[in-house]
């Protein structure tokens, strides 16, 4: 049996993607062959295509950070899973294919009733959001949290999981995104017409406990001004600070001070979302909580 997959042979934009046809892969011992139903298109995929992501593999490679698919064939020594079962995975690369073989331990069952295309939009964003909330910021119910880009992919995941954690939420967004932020349980702050630092201090008097900042650069230092004493900035992605696939060190320093601020914690989203052994367990939680969000909201708060 043959299948098709997409490969990157030269770094660049979408024009560099090529479709190849080849023999369908066969699962090895302990592996599962998955027929891909939906694969995400995320910022890390685009950065890998450009060759600037820190985990970009050598050419040629098949992109595709996350997927939802159906179990097609089992290798030997694979108990507890059956052909036809719907699963999710974070292979980092390889999901842009009809079939992919993965170790059983990297697969997570997908709850019934979720559309594959909708479910895959939960995987990378929710793994990133869940781990930043609970592993990095260690949030507690009742805390005040500011989320930049709250109507976006990771931002909306932070909003939904933050609501489940009992947080008081504020989100920067455009005027167009304000209704979505309100629907997600947060107070929208229109960054185009309001100074978010002044607005946070007006709303909270002393500032927030945590700011999630995916913009980076000098914006992190504005985020710091929105903190209460002892608060923390969790920075992720930092696309404005990438230099040749690395984070520019000067982006972490205040324009007015060369010293490191102990309350500024920088988190690499590609590390948090990695499917390495230390993060495979937590993958279970954001998928389950994302489903709970759908149940709680009765469909009104869906992945962006």
Q: Is residue 148 part of a domain?
A: yes
Using 70 as the pLDDT threshold, list the residues of the chain that sit under it. 238-304
Q: How far apart are the first and last CA of the chain?
A: 36
Closest-CA residue to 128 (of 25, 282, 11): 282
Instruction: Look at residue 289 in the predicted model and tell me its pLDDT.
Output: 55
Clarify whether residues 132 and 266 are in a common domain.
yes
Instruction: Look at residue 294 in the predicted model and tell me its pLDDT.
Output: 47
pTM beyond cutoff 0.85: no
Instruction: Look at residue 149 in the predicted model and tell me its pLDDT.
Output: 95
Instruction: Look at residue 295 in the predicted model and tell me its pLDDT.
Output: 40
Split into its structural domains, the chain has a count of 2
Clarify whether residues 132 and 90 are in a common domain.
no
Clarify whether residues 91 and 161 are in a common domain.
no
Clarify whether residues 267 and 128 are in a common domain.
yes
Q: What is the CATH number of the domain that holds 146?
A: 3.40.50.720
Q: Are strands 108-109 and 187-190 parallel, antiparallel or unpaired?
A: unpaired
Instruction: Look at residue 298 in the predicted model and tell me its pLDDT.
Output: 41
| Residue numbers of the domain that contains 82 | 2-110
Instruction: Look at residue 85 in the predicted model and tell me its pLDDT.
Output: 95
Residues with Cβ within 8 Å of residue 37, at least 6 apart in sequence: 67, 68, 69, 70, 86, 116, 117
Q: Is residue 187 part of a domain?
A: yes
Instruction: Look at residue 236 in the predicted model and tell me its pLDDT.
Output: 84
In Å, how far are 4, 58, 66, 97, 157 from 18, measured between CA atoms?
10, 16, 19, 12, 32
Q: What is the CATH number of the domain that holds 52?
A: 3.90.180.10
Instruction: Look at residue 121 in the predicted model and tell me its pLDDT.
Output: 85
Clarify whether residues 57 and 191 are in a common domain.
no
Clarify whether residues 260 and 136 are in a common domain.
yes
CB-count exposure of residue 299 (10 Å: 0-12, 13-18, 19+):
exposed
Q: Is residue 278 part of a domain?
A: no
């Amino acid at each position: 049996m043959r299948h098709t997959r997409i490969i990157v042979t030269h770094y660049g934009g979408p024009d560099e993607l090529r479709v190849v046809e080849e023999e369908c892969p066969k699962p090895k011992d302990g592996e599962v062959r998955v027929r891909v139903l939906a694969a995400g298109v995320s910022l890390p995929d685009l950065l890998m295509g450009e060759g600037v992501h820190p985990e970009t593999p050598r050419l040629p490679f098949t992109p595709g950070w996350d997927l939802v698919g159906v179990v097609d064939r089992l290798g030997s020594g694979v108990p507890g899973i059956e052909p036809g079962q719907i699963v999710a995975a974070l292979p980092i690369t390889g999901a842009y294919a009809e079939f992919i073989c993965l170790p059983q331990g990297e697969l997570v069952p997908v709850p019934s009733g979720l559309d594959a295309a909708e479910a895959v939009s939960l995987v990378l964003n929710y793994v990133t959001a869940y781990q930043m909330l609970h592993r990095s910021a260690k949030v507690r119910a009742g805390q005040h949290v500011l989320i930049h880009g709250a109507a976006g992919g990771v931002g909306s995941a932070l909003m939904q999981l933050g609501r489940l954690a009992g947080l008081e939420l504020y989100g920067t967004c455009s005027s167009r995104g304000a209704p979505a932020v309100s629907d997600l349980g947060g107070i929208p702050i229109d960054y185009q017409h309001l100074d978010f630092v002044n607005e946070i201090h007006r709303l909270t008097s002393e500032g927030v406990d945590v700011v999630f900042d995916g913009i980076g650069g000098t914006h992190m230092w504005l985020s710091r001004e929105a903190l209460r004493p002892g608060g923390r900035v969790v920075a992720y992605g930092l696309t404005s600070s990438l230099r040749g696939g690395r984070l520019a060190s000067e982006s972490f320093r205040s324009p007015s001070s060369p010293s490191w601020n102990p309350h500024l914690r920088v988190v690499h989203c590609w590390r948090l979302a990695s499917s390495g052994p230390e993060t495979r367990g937590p993958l279970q939680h954001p998928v389950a909580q994302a489903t709970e969000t759908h149940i709680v909201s009765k469909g009104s708060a869906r992945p962006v």
